[in-house]
Amino acid sequence: MTTVQNAEVSGRRVAVRWQEGGAAEFPFLWLRDNCRCPQCRHPGNGQRLLDTLDIPDDIAPKAVAARGDAVEIGWSDGHDSRYAADWLKAHELSPQARARRQLHHRLWGNEIANDLPRADWNELERSPEAERAFLARYHEFGFGLVDNVPVRSGMVVEAGNRFGHVRVTNYGAYFDVKSIPNPNNLAYTSVGLGVHTDNPYRDPSPGIQLLHCLEADAPGGDSILVDGFKVAEDLRREDPAAFERLSRLPQHFHFWDKNADLEADQRVIHTDHEGHIRNVHFNNRSAAPIDLPLEEVEGWYAAYRRFARLLRRPEGELRFRLAPGQLLMFQNDRVLHGRDGFDPNQGRRHLQGCYIDQDGILSRWRVLEREGAKVPA
Amino acid sequence: MTTVQNAEVSGRRVAVRWQEGGAAEFPFLWLRDNCRCPQCRHPGNGQRLLDTLDIPDDIAPKAVAARGDAVEIGWSDGHDSRYAADWLKAHELSPQARARRQLHHRLWGNEIANDLPRADWNELERSPEAERAFLARYHEFGFGLVDNVPVRSGMVVEAGNRFGHVRVTNYGAYFDVKSIPNPNNLAYTSVGLGVHTDNPYRDPSPGIQLLHCLEADAPGGDSILVDGFKVAEDLRREDPAAFERLSRLPQHFHFWDKNADLEADQRVIHTDHEGHIRNVHFNNRSAAPIDLPLEEVEGWYAAYRRFARLLRRPEGELRFRLAPGQLLMFQNDRVLHGRDGFDPNQGRRHLQGCYIDQDGILSRWRVLEREGAKVPA
């Protein structure tokens, strides 16, 4: 529990000193806008009732008081606010506090081959704590493997709706990955596929992919995963100019068949305003002619080819063979996936896949963390 | 039909002069990478077979020939390519050619009140040409109104799956917008709602919203639409520094109830690398404490409040009253929507809503354009 030692006005901010050491500043407008009282936020659903625009431009405290477990402020607009010390501490705006709030990604290469984020389907069904622990690891690594998922057609949709909400596309609620004649997509052949992210030609592109193995006795067809965030960080270190280009200039993607015609622009590396990598898109098969100012084209190609080469480094490739009953779930805009070619004349290889989005699975994880994810007695 | 007058090497590019006047340049790597032959692209599904990485760094033409309706190139890697003149013309990289390929948005205020993008459901069902024309107008304005949609519960999902694919969320496949006791969301009360975009706390946030009116005899409850792209352009002109901040710094959003806990960062105005506005997010109700470097907070608030004031200009507000059987479809990340309060004691107001995404509806439009959208005889 945090304790307030002192709170006072400093310029257009309130400066707070903590008993435990350290201090923080909060701008007047930010404080008034985030008043926690039931007039400013609906007590039942937490939604805001106060409109930011209704706060006067010159809002300022008339009185500031440190109350140990809270700071109390009487405002120039006549409103009184009370901010719990713990809440203020959790929302500090210093670089250190802000960094602590970032979702932590563990970047990986094939050194994790013997310690994959992994769970058993029956255990997940039985234990909220097992699911919470699995989802925590999943979010850290960007993928997870689930064993003993019932081997039946359509099960991948059930799994998708367990973790989030299945996103239906022109491929349907799920798709069969197996070798067929005259496919509309090279995925539905037996050729090897270099590592890629799925559907960059779709806006929004799928956040998460699930692949459920139903049959796998054809020789070949091993799965390959590469951590796109790790390789993007390698690129940033080894060739900052290439990183800058790929995070600024979009690539164009296109897919069409009889019933669909999908086009979108995506940056290969997408960073936020502070340079954190948010997602990665990479797909040779559906790349369309890039549509950039003429003078940017050669630089973009050099950067792209540099990144593509880094993606092929063997130490970044996690290779394994999916067995029937295994389900692989991965963040499609972080972890690239591919496969070796296989021989469809000597056996079968049949996966079913579907897409879900970040919102549902993050929400499920947060709810489990929030509820303490108690194992039922 | 385009005709090639002349084609020759110029530095690391091929320079092409058109019979009709004008010229264009194409970089070697771009040309080799976009070879249209059946070895480089799968003739059936158009997917790339050539891997960009397999092209040598020093790729160059050994021979370039103008053939009237095409340019033929013999490459240093031994491959021969043929580029149709029409294809080259369509992919020119000059600023003018690139601007022509942008999707055209018509920015609007309430001057369009008597000329809304509008269609009749039965006409859409009967005529692909009517649907093509409606979708063209929909994409230009960012919204459209459909009359005579059958008044029955769940119909909004049928409409959503006609134009695209319904995105299921924690609210289900569709949601009822009516006044209920103890709602988890202020939308499910009778209070007025300022204009906003839906679900900015969701990643990805919904691209498109459909609202289908089932009952509307309560006094009040008029709908309000505002073109967020128009107002963002106003802001760029009137206060470029505010525009710059809102297009660089993200806002934080949060929604939670018993079963869900959704958080996301969104920039209020999202622009691409050339400054074109791509989407807008604005939602007072679900705004969480912003999480920015301390020194950015006051500047962000000033910019946000400036934008919020512009959104309230009466000349930007399109107001109308939805009648039973009308369906409003709008680009959720462009067009803000709101409603006046209504009196639930004097009548009913019941809408059903659902979300779809950009990919499906753009695809449907492109397929209709591609097929010529012939009206059946």
Extended strands (E) in chain B: 4-10, 13-18, 23-27, 61-66, 70-75, 80-84, 118-120, 143-147, 175-177, 193-196, 208-216, 223-227, 250-256, 261-267, 269-271, 277-280, 317-320, 327-331, 335-339, 349-356
A248 interaction partners in chain B (CB closer than 8 Å):
273
pLDDT digits (tens, 9 = 90+) for A110-148: 999 999 999 999 999 999 999 999 999 999 999 999 999
Instruction: Spell out the domain ranges in chain B.
Output: 4-101, 110-370
User: What are A70-123's pLDDT values in tens digits?
Assistant: 999 999 999 999 999 999 999 999 999 999 998 889 999 999 999 999 999 999
Given a contact cutoff of 8 angstroms between Cβ atoms, the answer to whether B291 and A101 are in contact is yes
Whether the pLDDT of residue A186 is over 80: the answer is no
Closest approach of chain B CAs to the CA of A292, in angstroms?
7
Smallest Cα distance from A147 to chain B, Å: 26
Residue A158 has pLDDT above 90, yes or no: yes
For the segment A174-179, the average pLDDT, to the nearest whole number, is 91
User: Looking at the predicted structure, is the pLDDT value of residue A375 above 50?
Assistant: no
Check: CB of residue B9 under 8 Å from CB of residue B64. yes
pLDDT digits (tens, 9 = 90+) for A298-340: 999 999 999 999 999 999 999 999 999 999 999 999 999 999 9
For the domain covering B4-101, report its CATH number: 3.30.2020.30
Confidence check: pLDDT of A377 > 50: no
Chain B residue with the nearest C-alpha to that of A35: B289
Per the DSSP assignment, residues forming a β-bridge with B287 are B253
* pLDDT-derived band at A373, boundaries 50, 70, 90: low
Q: What are phi and psi of B274, to 5 degrees?
A: -110, 10
HSE-up of residue A173 (Cα within 13 Å, Cβ side): 14
Would you place residue B376 in the very low, low, confident or very high pLDDT band (cuts 50, 70, 90)?
A: very low
Of A48, A101, A204, the CB nearest to B284: A48
Contacts of B249 in chain A (CB under 8 A): 273
Buried b (16+ CB within 10 A) or exposed e, B115-136: ebbebebebbeebbebbbbbbb
Give the mean pLDDT of B165-179: 95
Record: contact B305-A53, CB cut-off 8 A:
yes
Chains A and B form CB pairs within 8 A to the count of: 203
**Which residues are within 8 A (CB) of A76 and not within 5 positions of it... i.e. 6 or more apart?**
A56, A58, A59, A60, A61, A62
* Mean pLDDT score, B20-29: 97
Does residue A268 contact residue A278 with C-beta atoms inside 8 Å?
no
pLDDT tens by residue, B54-105:
999 999 999 999 999 999 999 999 999 999 999 999 999 999 999 999 888 9
Query: Which numeric CATH code is attached to A110-370?
Result: 3.60.130.10
- State residue A376's pLDDT score: 37
The position carrying tokens 């009360």 is B189
Does pLDDT of B45 surpass 50? yes
Residue B375 confidence class, pLDDT cut points 50, 70, 90: very low
B337-350: average pLDDT: 90
Alpha carbons A186 and A190: distance in angstroms, whole number: 8
Instruction: State whether A298 and B29 contact (CB < 8 Å).
Output: yes
The rounded percent of chain A whose pLDDT value lies above 70 is 98
Contact B256 A292 (CB under 8 A): no
Average pLDDT score over residue span B274-279: 96
Mean residue pLDDT of chain A comes to: 94
Looking at every residue in chain B, the average pLDDT score rounds to: 94
**Inter-axis angle of helices B228-238 and B294-311, to 10 degrees?**
120
Strand blocks (E) in A134-222: 143-147, 175-177, 193-196, 208-216
What are B41's strand-pairing partners? B48
Most confident of the following: A44-48, A337-341, B304-308: B304-308
CB nearest B52 (choices: A45, A249, A305):
A305
